[in-house]
Amino acid sequence: MARFSEDAGKAQRFDVNLSILFTELPLLQRPAAAAAAGFTAVELWWPWIETPTPPRGELDALKKALDDAGTRLVGLNFYAGRLPGPDRGALSVPGEESDRFRANVDVAADFAASVGCTALNALYGNRVDGVDPAAQDALALENLVLAARAADRIGATLLVEALNKPESPRYPLVSAPAAVEVVDRVNEATGLGNAKFLLDLYHLSMNGEDLDAVIDAYAAKTGHVQIADNPGRGAPGTGDLDLSGLLTRLRGAGYDGWVGLEYKSGDRPGADAFDWLPRPLRAAD
């Protein structure tokens, strides 16, 4: 596996997505596993895919696991349906899914506040047969405004993410400009300015976008970055992306936030999925 540029690594703050790495372990054991691998920061998709409102005891248990491991949660998804899987978001899906998203907004924000998390990701939601896309977009804006206000209440950023069309063909935000347009609409509607772009280099590369141009155009509107190599969605060095160079470019464009490791470890346990990153570069201040 190719070695990641040490200079590029020194300029970043890396966190581990515990919803895609260390999945051979139960959820509550993953923060400690990340800490044992040298990481001090983690992120999560909404862990309770069956419910937007888990019992208080389950929320408290996750907080304790994070605290006991000494890991900081730096990013959390709002309820987004079944991930990974065909469901991609809930907030623009009329009926039960939209209601579930709304029920989750304050639950997720309050949990984020309890663990010091300052970034909440709201996946947009697939297009639905028989529903006017304009009606879905209006519902999405309404729910994103609610989410932005909840995030603002706890001093957090609301993230809007572009996915990729090959893997999520019914998800409408499959380019950086499409996601940034939604970010701008939310900020205009709320006047809060706390909506930001989640720049996922894997998804954008799958869409065939010019990643250098995306970074140059949208670094100032980026609130979080996620990485995986392409093809394969594996660790840096397993595909063709110059992730070292892209992160260096992001830093040069002014981005100094978190970089989430959101890749698949393949048939190896999560603890063996970080040979590309020297251990001294894993812990973030």
Catalytic residue, chosen from 43, 97, 161, 209, is 161
What is d(CA 124, CA 115) in angstroms, rounded to the nearest whole number? 25
Q: Judge contact between 103 and 94, C-beta under 8 A.
A: no
Pairing relationship of beta strands 72-77 and 258-261 according to DSSP bridges: unpaired
**Hey, is 243 helix, strand or coil?**
helix
Q: Kindly tell me the sign of the dihedral angle through the C-alpha atoms of 262, 263, 265, 271.
A: negative
Give me the helix-helix angle, 56-69 and 96-114, nearest 10°. 40
Catalytic residue, chosen from 43, 97, 209, 262, is 262
Tokens 């393949």 correspond to 266
24 is catalytic: no
161 is catalytic: yes
Cis peptide before 231 (omega within 30 of 0): yes
Give me the helix-helix angle, 211-218 and 243-252, nearest 10°. 20
Cis peptide before 84 (omega within 30 of 0): yes
What is d(CA 85, CA 168) in angstroms, rounded to the nearest whole number? 9
- Alpha carbon 214 to chain centroid, angstroms: 18
Kindly list the catalytic residues: 161, 262
